[in-house]
Amino acid sequence: MTKGLDLGTEAGRLAEQHLHDDVVGWLTTVSPDGRPQSSVISFLWDGETILFYSKPDAPKVRNLAANPRVSFHLNCDPYGDHMVTIEGRALVDEAAAASDVLPDYRAKYLEPLAHWGMDEAETAAAFSLPIRIIPERFRVW
């Protein structure tokens, strides 16, 4: 059961499918001076939270240190018929395994990493900071 996401509706089921299957999503953080900043991220949905990895010195990490509130949204169809936006908090998750040893993450990103011409171990070393989004509100249709 996904907390806060009604899987009994068509929109909820489509949202769950997108959260599971989509390769990238958009994370919006807020800089200390109040400027929104959106970044494309690879992510793993575990049914309750969203795990992603960042370069430790990325602007989004500095933004999260100042304000952990985030918005995360997925691409929709060309006409905006299926939309998924999640509002929540993002926190560094020091207990999370590296992306190149986490089985579900590895399975999801084997093909995309090959498409992007990225080495799995090098990517895990560069994007070494695990961050977890804890959803507080879902907006889906």
Q: Which of 87, 89, 104 is nearest to 20 (CA)?
A: 104
- Kindly state the average pLDDT of the residues 12-39: 93
Give per-residue pLDDT as tens, 28-83.
999 999 999 999 999 999 999 999 999 999 999 999 999 999 999 998 777 777 78
- Sheet holding 50-54: strands in order across? 36-42, 24-30, 69-74, 84-92, 129-140, 50-54, 44-45
Residue 1 scores a pLDDT above 50 = no
Q: What tens digit of pLDDT does each residue of 78-113 get?
A: 777 778 999 999 999 999 999 999 999 999 999 999
User: For the chain, which domains are there?
Assistant: 10-140 (2.30.110.10)
The percentage of the chain sitting over the pLDDT mark of 90, rounded to a whole number, equals 79
